[in-house]
Amino acid sequence: MRGPHNIIRLIRTGATLERTGAMNVVLDAFEAPPALRFVAKALGKPFQWLGYSGDATMPPATRALTALGPAYIKFGQVLSTRPDVVGDELAVQLRVLQDKLPPFSTQEAKAEVERALGLPADTIFSEFSEPVAAASIAQVHKARLADGGDPVAVKVLRPGIEKAFKKDVDAFYLAARIVEIFAPGARRLRPMEVITHFDGVVQGELDLRLESSAAGEFAANTKDDGGFDLPKIRWEHSARRVMTLEWADGVPMGDNAAIDAAGHNRIDLSERVLKLFLLHALRDGYFHADMHQGNLKVAANGDIIAYDFGIMGHIDEYTRRVYAEILFGFIRKDYKRVAEVHFEAGYVPADKDVDEFARALRAVGEPIFGMDASKISMGRLLNYLFEVTERFGMETRTELILLQRTMVVVEGVARSLNPNINIWQVAAPVVTDYIQKSIGPKAVINDLYKTARVLTRFGPRLPGLVEQALIAQSNPSPDKRRGFWRWIALAGIFGLLAGGGLTLLVEALA
């Protein structure tokens, strides 16, 4: 329950931050206003003795989050990918949370496998290693199938993780409400919606069947993408708390020395990882949303291998077009068009001045494009854009949070491979190609065709709908007259559909 009892959890959180020395680090990173600082200190300092001490060998923020438990660790993982939000120093401290946490025992993992799959682990696997990676929600073991001897990765949820996570997230909701009350300027960030989104993402991670399904969909979408590969899911050895997939052999993406020793071209890899992300986000609207170095490898043939599909991003076609037009406008330095797109999408209130907004966007873009290629940053652009849209009353778009976060992560991966990469130059062909295919005569006709297919489902109901419109017209009012003509227009559309002309036209163009 999201009730007052969670205050105790928040007090312990504040006490832990104080005890570990992380309180000021966190408040400074988020540039917390005085009222919020006062509340945070009031929840922590007097009760410091209630806080967890954590591992003194860790940096303060990492020490506090690992001591507080799995949901805090996962939240720290998310923040570690947003140096544009929390600053470089804190992001570096939190990066250790990605896959280097203390594991639970192999015996416990085997017991979980037996409970999930109904057979002893030693019956299913001829080999079962100690943990090779441990994160906040699950850990991974390398194993070998008894039937066939294929090497596989076995992902196992931490025992009791569901209950522990629920307890922590309930406190997050209360914390979000406190932020809304004591930091009114943060309301546009929709902290409650952010926590709801975060909750939904991790609930998906707590059911490995959903991760397996996500991997399958992602594989189907990307099967023809050159230089990109995914390990196959072994469904017969997967369940809600256990997932088995092919073992991915390759060099870790974060090990430049090993990549060089294997003879791979880091410049090519840096450009390919960025292009692949944009391609998946724009073309498919379905993308890997946790593409840090720990989830990427380089195969012997040079392919980029992605794994860990617990966090996948989805954006609808309309939002993709808006996002692409904004990027395309910045690439062409067409700030007026970028401003118009924000207004057309309803991102900025209609009572604001579009020309003034365009000038503000120019102030965002021009300094960045004037930089050396090695300093051009999408992360910096998003940060500046965030500040400008706040001034013009734009609320945080929760559907774009994951997309924006992942773009920053992928940019970091690309820049770690090639510090001199020109992000915009690499992105331009992918964005331009998507714009040409999604905004043009053929795209308009395809949109009409999709609309027509939906409308045809209402065909059997058309006589009744028209009859209702005629009855309403017998006692007309301005609103009803407008409604009548809408129904007549709808009838005309159905007439067109009955003739099949639109369908034939689309088929001819396809």
The burial of 89, by beta-carbon neighbours within 10 Å (0-12 exposed, 13-18 middle, 19 or more buried), is given as middle
**Six token digits for residue 178:** 């406190």
The answer to whether 418 and 267 have CB atoms below 8 angstroms apart is yes
Neighbours of 270 (CB within 10 A): 22
CA-CA distance, 271 to 302, in Å (whole number)? Answer: 13
Q: One of 290, 308, 351, 372 is an active-site residue; which one? A: 290
CA-CA distance, 507 to 298, in Å (whole number)? Answer: 41
CA-CA distance, 270 to 252, in Å (whole number)? Answer: 14
The answer to whether 238 and 209 have CB atoms below 8 angstroms apart is yes
Q: Under DSSP, is residue 288 helix (H, G, I), strand (E, B) or coil? A: strand
3-state secondary structure labels for all residues of 357-411:
HHHHHHHHHHHHHCCCHHHCCHHHHHHHHHHHHHHCCCCCCHHHHHHHHHHHHHH
Instruction: Tell me which H or E stretch contains 500.
Output: none
CA-CA distance, 391 to 77, in Å (whole number)? Answer: 29
Alpha carbon separation from 474 to 347, 401, 469, 478 (Å, rounded): 41, 50, 9, 12
Strand order in the sheet with 242-246: 125-134, 138-145, 151-157, 242-246
- DSSP-derived letter for residue 244 is E
- DSSP-derived letter for residue 283 is I
Instruction: Name the CA radius of gyration of the chain, rounded.
Output: 26
One-letter amino acid for residue 316 of the chain = D
CA 246 to chain centre: 24
Alpha carbon separation from 459 to 273, 467, 489, 494 (Å, rounded): 47, 14, 14, 7
CA-CA distance, 85 to 173, in Å (whole number)? Answer: 20
Judge whether 170 counts as a catalytic residue: no
Q: Which residues are catalytic?
A: 290
